[in-house]
Amino acid sequence: MVQQETQSRLSVMNFLSEAALDYPHAISFASGRPAQQFFDLDGWLGEIPRYRDHVVRQQRSNADTVGGLLAQYGRAAGIVNELVAEQIGADHGVPCSGEQVIVMNGCQEALALCLQALCPQPGDVALARNPTYIGATGAADCAGIPLVPIGEDDGDDFPAALARTIGSELAQGRQPRALYLIPEFDNPTGVVLSESDRLATLALCERYRIAILEDNPYGMFRFEGKAPPALAALDEYGVVLHLGTYSKTICPAVRVGFAVVPDTLFGSAAASRALKTELGERRSYVTVNTSQINQAMVGGILLREGGSLQRFIEPSRTFYHRNRDALLSALETHLGPVRDRVTWNRPEGGFFLSLRLPFAFMRDDMLTCASEYGVLTMPMTFFSLDGTQRESVRLSFSNVSQDEIGRGVAAFASYVRQRLQP
Amino acid sequence: MVQQETQSRLSVMNFLSEAALDYPHAISFASGRPAQQFFDLDGWLGEIPRYRDHVVRQQRSNADTVGGLLAQYGRAAGIVNELVAEQIGADHGVPCSGEQVIVMNGCQEALALCLQALCPQPGDVALARNPTYIGATGAADCAGIPLVPIGEDDGDDFPAALARTIGSELAQGRQPRALYLIPEFDNPTGVVLSESDRLATLALCERYRIAILEDNPYGMFRFEGKAPPALAALDEYGVVLHLGTYSKTICPAVRVGFAVVPDTLFGSAAASRALKTELGERRSYVTVNTSQINQAMVGGILLREGGSLQRFIEPSRTFYHRNRDALLSALETHLGPVRDRVTWNRPEGGFFLSLRLPFAFMRDDMLTCASEYGVLTMPMTFFSLDGTQRESVRLSFSNVSQDEIGRGVAAFASYVRQRLQP
């Protein structure tokens, strides 16, 4: 079994599920699930024949043969790679070919296997912002890879904090090999990494030969402003592995994600080929391949949509946008009067907003707030790599109604005002 | 990247795929794929609503809500656990509850995560027969867990060889934690572990607290004779984790497998709960969960079939049986005259037969045989943990036609007779 420290991290997810079960009537800003009113599973399953017919035409085969092959074992790297590459190019401005794509069981598998492949030696470490996505923490823990927080608390900008963290790791004899980032609408904070910070990050990572795992689950859900180019689009060096998923754009149960390996890894085409081979082999020995049924569903949708999911996600993007506005408005109404002590950001997209309190909000506070005020929020410290972030909260607005947002924020504000009383 | 020795093992699968591509017209006894003429993907996808309606009735919910939840993130341990437990009980005589089942992305994920959970410490090792399934070798390699071959070559029976191997590992300061076994129609050899050997194995594993990973992909494909009870059915101690998959009974692309954790692991209910929790958490950080779409397809089929897949697999079982007979008959015809030097077993079920030659048959021999004789077979040494098994060959009869079996064996026999010439 895993060691004690790991165990406690691993158990956060369980604790959250249980909290949701224990307080079924609490309004929940805890879940980062996509809104399921936009799911059309029956319709999407109906797109599988569209993909099959596409392959029949491509291979000049017949529907029975291709249908049989779809149900068989398939390529470890996937079968809808060209369609995925086209979509990433169209929707994220990341130019790539199907050859660079490895289809995975959601982005989680891509992340877990990239960390394992990039950090094989004792002393190899991965870096991440602090707080960070709990799936990155868990994947690193399971593989025994230290995930080092980038110390941004001293007021430095991100590249300066990154440089300091790299220097400190090297000085202690550890070798940073990978940097995990969600540059667009970070989970859990909702923040966007600026273009200048992206360029500086790329330069640092090239210099120290650190691969960037650019995770982009929320990039298509921008409500306002102009998106900075993706790190992979700015990458001239071959340091970025662009990761993605159809869990938010289509639905989580599709379990289709991907990694895009640069043509030349740190300038070397051979290193890039070796990494692709290794990722393909590692995934062979964890999950064999991503179900071709699920890939065919994604492929059929991508074919129907002409290669871009912009139109497809517009209803959910609009819903998240309105929810973000409702959340900002409710926060202003209920906590505006104490804005000198309670602050929050204005996420330009994505699923999450972060809020800072003048007091610690931990596990027990979360439970009190759920039981006494009927509202579930996520203590930011759950996402912390070092036990900090005790005074922040993540509010997810992706899986609540506007009505719930109004009532939930009012309830949370009551809790906060009570805590603020001297 | 992984070390050199590991790399070479990991590359066997790639080599095989490439060999198949390089000799597309060779008759192949190399692939252990199920026969795809029995796949009915369109029909099976049509069973998803049956499962959905079952949940609607169970939860007194409505179809839209349940449909939405099917497309969402779901329980890490799975949703069709009760139906899976019912089928394992009916078809394999393994009594278990849904609570004991963890649904995985194929048996491969179950195997990989069980090995990781059971062998966390340096010095922990797993044991396996030699030769063994390449997915076990690969999963252990990827996790850095030594997979120790059980030395059966000295003529001992299996339990004696197992006892000797355990003793030798302990004497060298290593701790055997897991034993990987395919007791029914082993891949690659096709052999069955006898009931008395099963009982002796259970007693040894209880004594040394070694968990048995009982992998049972082929158990339903028995052609003759009576099946010994599954290890999990004989297990009074709580040492057996029963693993399985729907890849062979339904189709590989369904990517649904499972692990059944005993109620008391080594006699402890707490140890069993801890292992289930850890497996659930590890899988959260590798693949999140098994697609509920795929689970719903399996669930719908199990509901339609009334809990047992016996009737469902009868056409493919009959096909494999006839193929086994055709293979035995062709071997007798073409290699019977040299049976003093070339021997083979008579598998009572499953997909594989093993054949022993009086000369080494290695990678280059396989390529020569493919290019000059038009027939692909698997050198058994590919499945070896220690470079032995050089004079054996695995012949798979699951994915060839009877006509191909006749022509393929004739061609292979020509190759063998040419090698036998002085």
Residue A416 has pLDDT above 50, yes or no: yes
Residue B200 has pLDDT above 50, yes or no: yes
Which residues lie below 8 Å from residue A64, measured CB to CB, with a gap of 6+?
none
User: Which pLDDT tens digit goes with each residue over A333-383?
Assistant: 999 999 999 999 999 999 999 999 999 999 999 999 999 999 999 999 999
Nearest Cα of chain B lies from the Cα of A69 at a distance, in angstroms, of 8
C-alpha distances in angstroms, A261 versus A275, A280, B352, B405?
8, 11, 37, 42
> What is the mean pLDDT of the segment spanning A276-294?
95
Closest chain A residue by Cα to residue B136: A285
Confidence class for position A4, pLDDT limits 50, 70, 90: very low
Cα A131 to Cα B359: distance, rounded to the nearest angstrom = 61
Pick among B39, B80, B293 to test the A interface (most A CBs inside 10 A): B293
- What is the DSSP annotation of A9-31? HHTHHHHHHHHHHH-TTSEES--
Collapsed DSSP state (helix, strand, coil) of residue B261: coil
User: Which pLDDT tens digit goes with each residue over B300-333?
Assistant: 999 999 999 999 999 999 999 999 999 999 999 9
Cα A262 to Cα A272: distance, rounded to the nearest angstrom = 7
Using the CB atoms, write b or e for B162-177: b if 16+ within 10 Å.
bbebbeebeeeebbbb
Residue A53 has pLDDT above 60, yes or no: yes
> What is the mean pLDDT of the segment spanning A398-403?
96
Note whether ipTM > 0.90 here: yes
Partners of residue B355 on adjacent β-strands: B344, B393
A-chain residues within 8 Å CB-CB of B2?
Answer: 120, 278
C-alpha distances in angstroms, A183 versus A133, A189, A249?
12, 11, 17
Residue B154 has pLDDT above 90, yes or no: no
Cα B38 to Cα B24: distance, rounded to the nearest angstrom = 23
Question: Given an 8 Å threshold on Cβ–Cβ distance, is B71 in contact with A297?
Answer: no
Burial (CB < 10 A; 0-12, 13-18, 19+), residue A340, is exposed
Residue B278 has pLDDT above 90, yes or no: yes
Strands (DSSP E) contained in A36-195 are: 101-104, 124-128, 147-149, 175-181
B-chain residues within 8 Å CB-CB of A41?
Answer: 48, 67, 70-71, 293
Task: Write the residue in A42, A105, A138 that is nearest to B284 by C-beta.
Answer: A138
The pLDDT > 90 percentage for chain A reads 89
Question: Given an 8 Å threshold on Cβ–Cβ distance, is B10 in contact with A275?
Answer: no
Phi then psi for A342, rounded to 5 degrees? -120, 120
Residue B12 has pLDDT above 80, yes or no: no
Nearest Cα of chain A lies from the Cα of B195 at a distance, in angstroms, of 30
Question: Given an 8 Å threshold on Cβ–Cβ distance, is A278 in contact with B10?
Answer: yes
A-B contacts (CB, under 8 Å): 200
Task: Write the residue in B72, B106, B252 that is nearest to A72 by C-beta.
Answer: B252
Pick among A9, A11, A142, A261 to test the B interface (most B CBs inside 10 A): A142
Cα B207 to Cα B132: distance, rounded to the nearest angstrom = 24
C-alpha distances in angstroms, A201 versus A150, A235, B315?
12, 10, 59
> What is the mean pLDDT of the segment spanning B370-399?
96
Partners of residue A134 on adjacent β-strands: none
> What is the mean pLDDT of the segment spanning B355-360?
98
pLDDT of residue A14: 66
pLDDT of residue B11: 61
pLDDT of residue B3: 37
Query: Hey, how many other C-beta atoms are within 10 angstroms of the C-beta on A217?
Result: 25
pLDDT of residue B420: 96
Decide: A113 and A211 in contact? Cβ < 8 Å.
no
Nearest Cα of chain A lies from the Cα of B56 at a distance, in angstroms, of 16
Question: Given an 8 Å threshold on Cβ–Cβ distance, is A293 in contact with B45?
Answer: yes
Nearest Cα of chain A lies from the Cα of B196 at a distance, in angstroms, of 32
Question: Given an 8 Å threshold on Cβ–Cβ distance, is A287 in contact with B291?
Answer: no
pLDDT of residue A297: 98
pTM of the model: 0.96
Cα B81 to Cα B276: distance, rounded to the nearest angstrom = 13
Cα A241 to Cα A247: distance, rounded to the nearest angstrom = 19
Confidence class for position A200, pLDDT limits 50, 70, 90: very high
> What is the mean pLDDT of the segment spanning A124-132?
97
Nearest Cα of chain A lies from the Cα of B418 at a distance, in angstroms, of 35
A-chain residues within 8 Å CB-CB of B217?
Answer: none
Closest chain A residue by Cα to residue B119: A1
* DSSP code, position B247: T
Confidence class for position A11, pLDDT limits 50, 70, 90: low
Residue A408 has pLDDT above 60, yes or no: yes
> What is the mean pLDDT of the segment spanning A314-319?
98
Residue A24 has pLDDT above 90, yes or no: no
pLDDT of residue B24: 85
Confidence class for position A154, pLDDT limits 50, 70, 90: low
Confidence class for position A1, pLDDT limits 50, 70, 90: very low
- What is the DSSP annotation of A244-311? EESTTTT-GGG--EEEE--SSBTTBHHHHHHHHHHHHHHHHTTTSS--HHHHHHHHHHHHHTTT--HH
Question: Given an 8 Å threshold on Cβ–Cβ distance, is A70 in contact with B135?
Answer: no
Q: Which domains does chain B have, with CATH numbers?
A: 4-38+311-420 (3.90.1150.10), 45-309 (3.40.640.10)
> What is the mean pLDDT of the segment spanning A165-173?
98
Closest chain B residue by Cα to residue A254: B291
- HSE-up (13 A, CA, CB side) for residue B399: 19
Residue B192 has pLDDT above 60, yes or no: yes
Average pLDDT over all residues of chain B:
94
Q: Packing angle between helix B402-420 and helix B363-373, nearest 10 degrees?
A: 120
Cα A261 to Cα A273: distance, rounded to the nearest angstrom = 9
Question: Given an 8 Å threshold on Cβ–Cβ distance, is B42 in contact with A67?
Answer: yes
Cα A325 to Cα A346: distance, rounded to the nearest angstrom = 9
Decide: A344 and A393 in contact? Cβ < 8 Å.
no
